[in-house]
Structure 1
Amino acid sequence: MNCDDMLEVEWPEPVDGEIVLRHVETGEERAGVDLAGLRPGIWMASHRGEPLATDDPGFSLDELLVYAETPRDREIRAYRTPIGTLALTVREVAPYVEVTAVVSDDGAIEVEGLIAYGEAIEGTARLVAVARKGPKPVSGPGLFKGRRFEGFLQIAPMAETQVRRRVFWDLHVEVAGVRLPLAARLDDITDKKTRVRFPAQHVGQVRVRPYYTDTDSLAIALTVEEEGS
């Protein structure tokens, strides 16, 4: 795969015949390596009527980061299936901020990230926490330098609004009136919600902990802890 959505295959020796892609759900077939216009879903690759075997796992974080630098509304990834054949997954995407670092310490949450699938931005922004139910949004300062973002959010203003035992806040970057979600989707870590743990902080009896949701978005959980727990 390259940034122009062309499939690149390295053969151990010269071969004849085109690669054919077949959509798993619809049975639609496409011959060739130009992937423009592929419908969302999973496509299996074959050559001369046989599944195309590969020993390439299809994952490179550096390549995915470069790919995400191009504004686009569809993401195409090549990968090796469990039986060792080549497949592609196609999905619709929208610009967001790919999280590269999270620091939870000293009464604040700091986030660093990169714009994925959108244009580069220069200038000030806001790191915004939006409660799923109840309190008004809380924000802190942020800054874009091209594709890179860094933002800072004090946790006390969120904890001070706590009226229920548990409140969940989703994190966004706001710039020029537009909110971009924060998420980590360009790595190969699955089930981040249970496998990635950030340090918790406390404001009185309120525990504040960043976490990844089922969709790998970055959020914050605030929980009132009982005394002695």
Structure 2
Amino acid sequence: MFNFNKTDPFFTALLEIAEHVQEAVHYAHDFKIEKVSDLKEVSIRLKNYEREGDSLIYELTTKLNTSFMTPIEREDILQLSIKMDDILDGIEHFAAHLEMFSLIDIDEYVNSFMENIVKSTDEIVKALQLLSQKKLVEMRDHAVLIKQLESICDEIYRTSIKQLFINEKDPIRIIQFKDIYEQLEDVADYCEDVANTIETIIMRNA
């Protein structure tokens, strides 16, 4: 099935998408928010990342539509790209909601969510590097780690919601932070979706 002496353009394109998602998530995590205007800057930059990601997906889809042969099922290539794009969309929505609410006091739970989402995107890139090298079986360990990180985010979500209703008295802030926690939980779920797609690819092709 595979030509091990030649880099496949579809695997290269998938890796490029993964690295783009990783860069965007790292940017969101590393940016130090000190004032409301910082939120606008982050939101605009992540919107640009999201648009650039859409362009990468479009290029890959065009290539799929014009290619007679693909190294793995077309549906798996498309599904993997779309699931990675969901992560990018989710981070962009998270930043947009921070800006919409003017929330600069990022708490420990948001930081914990982001730390684990960053780790997940790192694992996705590692898995896609192995895919580009046609080392499918070795990808499984990274998929498992992504699922473990999602489980950690589940715990963070439950704890954050519980503590929010115990400690916060302002109903507006309860609504705002609940929304932010849910946005980040969704992003962690999108990372798990990528892991599930990776496992499907392994099962069908290894």
Band the TM-score falls in, shorter-chain normalisation: under 0.3
The higher-RCO structure (CA 8 Å, 6+ apart) is 2
Which structure's residues are more often strand, by fraction?
Answer: 1
Larger Rg: 1
TM-score by length of 2: 0.25
